[in-house]
């Protein structure tokens, strides 16, 4: 049994747990309600992989999950050079072309 992930956000832990379950990887959440028994102490839910042989695949899924979760929303591709830019930029950081307005 190995710990794979911990987060103060219960939803993140549950989404990753569901992804692992869909991939056939057995896992469990720990410390989910530890704050009830230890008021004032900060505990974060932990996701543990039950079979250590599944850990490499689980780590790949975790990394893909984290990459997807941190991807900027509404990124755009520059029509001039093809560079991807984050949503907050109004001009391409690479070539300076102004972003076209959405209709």
Task: Kindly state whether residues 57 and 86 are assigned to the same domain.
Answer: no
Task: For the chain, list the strands marked E by DSSP.
Answer: 2-6, 27-30, 46-49, 76-77, 84-85
Instruction: Judge contact between 62 and 15, C-beta under 8 A.
Output: no
Q: Domain count for the chain, please give it.
A: 2
b vs e for 39-56, b when ≥16 Cβ sit within 10 Å of the residue's Cβ? eeeebbbbbbbeeeebbe
Q: What is the structure's pLDDT at 27?
A: 97
Please identify every stretch of the chain with a pLDDT value under 50, giving residue numbers as ranges: 103
Same domain, 77 and 65: no
- State whether 84 and 56 are in the same domain: no
Structural domain of 91: 72-103
Query: Could you tell me if 65 and 83 lie in one domain?
Result: no
Task: Give yes or no: residues 9 and 54 share one domain.
Answer: yes
Judgement on whether residues 65 and 101 belong to the same structural domain of the protein: no
**What pLDDT sits at residue 70?**
65
Q: Is the same domain home to 13 and 62?
A: yes
How far is 95 from 103, CA to CA, in rounded Å? Answer: 23
- Predicted local confidence at residue 11, as pLDDT: 87
Task: Let me know whether 66 and 85 are in one domain.
Answer: no
58 three-state secondary structure = helix
Whats the size of the chain, residue-wise?
Answer: 103
Q: Are 64 and 79 members of one domain?
A: no
16 and 58 housed in the same domain: yes
- In terms of domains, do 54 and 100 share one? no
């Amino acid at each position: 049994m190995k710990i794979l992930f911990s987060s103060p956000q219960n939803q993140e832990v549950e989404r990753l747990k569901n992804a692992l379950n869909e991939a056939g990887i057995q896992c469990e959440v720990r410390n989910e309600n530890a704050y009830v028994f230890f008021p004032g102490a900060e505990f974060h839910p932990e996701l543990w992989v039950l079979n250590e042989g599944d850990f490499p695949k689980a780590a790949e899924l975790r990394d893909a999950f984290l990459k997807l979760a941190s991807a900027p929303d509404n990124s755009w591709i520059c029509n001039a050079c093809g560079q991807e830019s984050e949503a907050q930029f109004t001009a391409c950081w690479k070539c300076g072309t102004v972003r076209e307005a959405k209709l």
